[in-house]
Amino acid sequence: MPPRIRFLFLTMSATLFFVAAVPLGAEFSRRGDIWWTPQTMLVPLAESADRVEIYVRGRPLAALLQTGQIRIAEDARIGALIPSEIGLRFNNWDRVRAERLPGLLVSAAGCGIAVLVFLLVLTGRLAYRGEKGHVAAAA
């Protein structure tokens, strides 16, 4: 294979590899806690009923709060906990992971193809062989 063509294929496969590797690297270097609901956007207990139910000793937390059965001690003072004082954070990693998986698989396949082409060109397996003679014209 002529050196210019070999260099072109090596450069193209290296570029494809890095373009495909950037999303993978970004995914693996993310913090693990970014998928949680932010602390400033806590979901009130009443609005979270469609996603979570919390039970205390077998009884729903909302019912215990409404009857004033849950108390909290702060600074030598005991007070009943009310539903508006409870906020929930959700971990949305499972939903985000399901959305991102196809794109990451495409990036991983692109990396594999780029490495394969790079190795084939580097080892000379894709050698230019030229034409082996003239094709006779059909009469």
Query: What is the overall mean pLDDT for the chain?
Result: 81
Tens of pLDDT, residues 40-85: 888 888 888 778 888 888 888 888 888 888 888 888 888 888 888 8
43: its two tokens: 């979901």
Closest CA to 62 of 37, 78, 84: 84
Q: Is the pLDDT of residue 33 over 80?
A: no
Q: What are phi and psi of 78, to 5 degrees?
A: -115, 130
Q: What is the pLDDT of residue 128?
A: 63
Is the whole model's pTM more than 0.75, yes or no?
no
pLDDT, position 129: 66
Phi first, then psi: give them for residue 34, nearest 5 degrees: -75, -10
Tokens read off for 87: 């906020």
